Amino acid sequence: MGTARKRLALLVAAGLLGGLTVLPLQANAAPTTYKVKAFAEFFSRGVPGFSARFLPESITIHKGDTIRFQGFGPTLLPLNQGPTEWREANATFPTDPYFQVKSDPDDGAKAVKFNTAIFGPSRAGCGSRAEPCNFAGKTVLNGGDRRGFSVTFRADAGSVLYAISATQSRMNFRIEVVPQSQAASTQEQLDNRAATLMEQDYETAAALHAKYSDRQTSHINSKGVRVWDAWAGVDGDHVSLLQMYPKRLSIKKGQKVQWHFDLENELHDVIFPFSKAQEILRNSFTPVCDPDGDDGPGPDEPAGPDFPFCDDIRQLEFDLLNKEVYKRGNGVFRGAGDFEGSGVR
């Protein structure tokens, strides 16, 4: 072989070896920490409501990436369980583990309390920026009442998981784990999409507020009585308005008012008279400590002044007045001495 051909062969061999040695040295990208917002209030912009969604509503990540949920601690569902199916199985009826209200038998036959499975974190000692909770999608992971909740995802590529709000029945966040060879979401993409959705929700909320504030609609029922429409809050797919609508109704004696509720699990309620509503508001959702649990005889013990209120957080419960939870009256309000309540629906 001539000298020139030998040199060319050596160069080609060196190039092939170089290609073979470079490829195995390409390491996976370092794990990414994302920030995802949830909820956005509009009170500061003159609209009594908020955006009830994750901002944005979906993300693609790699195994080992972390999401910092800002605004509250969501409920993360097991692998391949959709939000609608999970809620139907776990948060629809009073006996379901994640229904918002539970019976409180040691306080009386009809006593009720807020479900702390929603309010409290399912794991202690993780969820902070410094110590994220690891989540592979085997069981439910609840963030609880936190203003920030960090989760590192350990599910394999190809997995789809959901984070949801346990109190907002249409608020869902889709998380897809993609292979390292596939590009994941970037923070810039998430932020741009979030800003677009938040402004869109503000415009929707402002339009609904204007529409319902002075809305005067009615119909004549089968008995010839006029029935006026009213709303205890207005909820759309992604916005929630916290005000009674319309601002004023002028009706005649004997006419009816039909209150409309929009959500599958509705927390808004209607109570007459106003003084009774104020009394219930002041005395409901009261923290107490229940050291002997629902099977004990009671009574509950007073809570401390600061969270977690009880020496053992497992004893914590929030009592609700059954005047608020259960429907009261006969649907006919006769004056200040009467008491009518829609109950939690």
> What DSSP line would sit under 289-303, residue for residue?
E-TTTTTS----EE-
Q: 7 in a domain, yes or no?
A: no
Domain that holds residue 165: 33-98+118-207
Residues 151/66, Cβ–Cβ less than 8 Å: yes
Q: What is the pLDDT of residue 331?
A: 82
Q: What is the pLDDT of residue 280?
A: 80
Q: What is the pLDDT of residue 12?
A: 35
Both 53 and 145 in one domain: the answer is: yes
Q: What is the pLDDT of residue 264?
A: 60
C-beta neighbour count of 217 within 10 angstroms: 10
Q: What is the pLDDT of residue 266?
A: 60
Report the distance separating Cα 57 and Cα 40, nearest Å: 13
User: Which residues lie below 8 Å from residue 84, measured CB to CB, with a gap of 6+?
Assistant: none
Q: What is the pLDDT of residue 263?
A: 65
Task: Tell me 313's DSSP state.
Answer: G
Report the distance separating Cα 218 and Cα 216, nearest Å: 7
Both 49 and 197 in one domain: the answer is: yes
Q: How many domains does the chain fold into?
A: 2
Both 198 and 125 in one domain: the answer is: yes
Both 126 and 195 in one domain: the answer is: yes
Q: For the chain, where are the alpha helices, taking DSSP H only?
A: 3-22, 83-90, 116-119, 187-213, 274-283, 322-325
Both 271 and 308 in one domain: the answer is: yes
Both 247 and 326 in one domain: the answer is: yes
Cα dihedral 118, 65, 170, 119, rounded to 10, equals: 10
Q: What is the pLDDT of residue 22?
A: 37
Q: 246 in a domain, yes or no?
A: yes
Nearest CA to 161 out of 180, 138, 142 is that of 138
Both 243 and 125 in one domain: the answer is: no
Q: Calculate the CA 96 to chain-centre distance.
A: 17
Q: What is the pLDDT of residue 27?
A: 42
Q: What is the pLDDT of residue 285?
A: 81
Residues 324/284, Cβ–Cβ less than 8 Å: yes
Q: What is the pLDDT of residue 267?
A: 65
Report the distance separating Cα 247 and Cα 269, nearest Å: 16
Both 293 and 316 in one domain: the answer is: yes
Q: Mark the ranges of the chain whose per-residue pLDDT is less than 70.
A: 1-28, 262-267, 345
Q: What is the pLDDT of residue 26?
A: 32
Task: Tell me 329's DSSP state.
Answer: S
**pTM for this entry:** 0.80
CATH number for the domain that contains residue 89: 2.60.40.420
Q: What is the pLDDT of residue 292?
A: 80
User: Which residues lie below 8 Å from residue 292, measured CB to CB, with a gap of 6+?
Assistant: 106, 298
**152-181 residue pLDDT tens:** 999 999 999 999 998 888 899 999 999 999
